[in-house]
Structure 1
């Protein structure tokens, strides 16, 4: 499947007949409260499985950030897929375990971290899929695409957009990041940001 920017391919509350594997692009995942407020619950990367844990209905909406390519599989075909591709069984277990780890990290993010720690955690999270090694030490600058809006980031972190914008500005003044345009950011001190995300204060 190819999904254009801004289009939804999973709808919260809709019957969960299929699951998806993201093969290109990025997507934002969100839920709506009864009063219309939105909570972004995650940003999907290439290789992520979406809708896999759904039972009767989807628990979130998935919207394309830019053009997205997907593989769609019916839930009813999982047994046949595992029989045909035995390695898939381990991959599905890995996905289930990864979702639990992400949920625990998100509870910590929203429950205990300051605004600075939350934004640092977000930036580190965005860098992790491709540059995890660079976050462990003072590696060179890392430039990350950020296709999501500042409002999306604020919703994800449980902060106001004003707080997110102010914290971005503080990070820039402190020489932790540089920003050119609204769709990318360069981490000038990946190690410092990684420590901040983990609550470690350097002297």
Structure 2
């Protein structure tokens, strides 16, 4: 296995080792990933089955209907999960951010296109290798089941949000969820990264690009957010955003 030779704190071990193999011991998203449930021996076994990928923007990891051969942990960057409906419409089912595990499914084929958003670093595992590790290590199997349940709950919540919220409320809810994910990653500040373009947000929330832009402007005019950069939003009033989507 060859780890990419670029300067990243996840891949640069400090002088004092902690018992885990680098880069696992020093990965900035390990506490968010499925491997967080593993002890030293188990983490070594997982590391031995892993390969690292550093990909540029717009790389397609899998197409909808392809055989499911690999699963991935996002270390840096982001992925989007895209599905084409029967009538040819594009739907962004979700986004995978650092710490997220992608490809977990009971289906033998991928249910979505999986594409990179910007430069993205992944830990990749063969499906069969991951299955054997899960059978061998109950803690890993439990963590994978927990992730599957979280994804199911998130999908149900997304369906409810699209049904009961107006466009501005949908966008407020989306920003709050991104902020919560950043907080879990150790970045609780008001700045929220938007690694996805406006068109992806629109296709995720069931809106048009024009509506997303209008809603962002509306939230800014209300003093709830600021937009210092195209791909960054500063949340100025968390309580105000929460009030929009019913708390």
TM-score w.r.t. structure 2 length? 0.73
Moved over 4 A (4+): none
> Does residue 178 in structure 1 map to residue 206 in structure 2?
no
Distance, in Å, in 1 between the alignment partners of 2:131 and 2:212 is: 44
SS for the counterpart of 2:229 is: coil
Tell me by how many angstroms 1:194 deviates. 2.2
Unaligned stretches of 5+ residues in structure 2: 1-52
Tell me by how many angstroms 1:12 deviates. 1.0
Tell me by how many angstroms 1:58 deviates. 0.3
Matched-pair contact (CA < 8 Å) for 1:3–1:9: no
Unaligned stretches of 5+ residues in structure 1: 133-138
Q: Which residue of 1 aligns with 2:236?
A: 188
Tell me by how many angstroms 1:164 deviates. 1.0
Q: Superposed, which structure 2 residues align to 1:40-59 within 5 Å?
A: 40-59=92-111
Tell me by how many angstroms 1:85 deviates. 4.1
Query: Which among 60, 67, 81 is matched to residue 15 of structure 1?
Result: 67
Tell me by how many angstroms 1:83 deviates. 4.7
The structure-2 alpha-carbon separation of the partners of 1:167 and 1:79, relative to structure 1 and needing over 3 Å to count, comes to: closer
Matched-pair contact (CA < 8 Å) for 1:176–1:189: yes
Q: Superposed, which structure 2 residues align to 1:1-203 within 5 Å?
A: 1-131=53-183, 142-197=190-245, 199-200=246-247
Aligned residue pairs total 192
Distance, in Å, in 2 between the alignment partners of 1:112 and 1:83 is: 41
Rg larger in 1 or in 2?
A: 2
Matched-pair contact (CA < 8 Å) for 2:182–2:192: no
The structure-2 alpha-carbon separation of the partners of 1:79 and 1:169, relative to structure 1 and needing over 3 Å to count, comes to: closer
Q: Write out per-residue CA displacement over residues 77-119 of structure 1, whole angstroms, 9 at most, x where no aligned residue.
A: 2342125544211211111110111011111111111111100
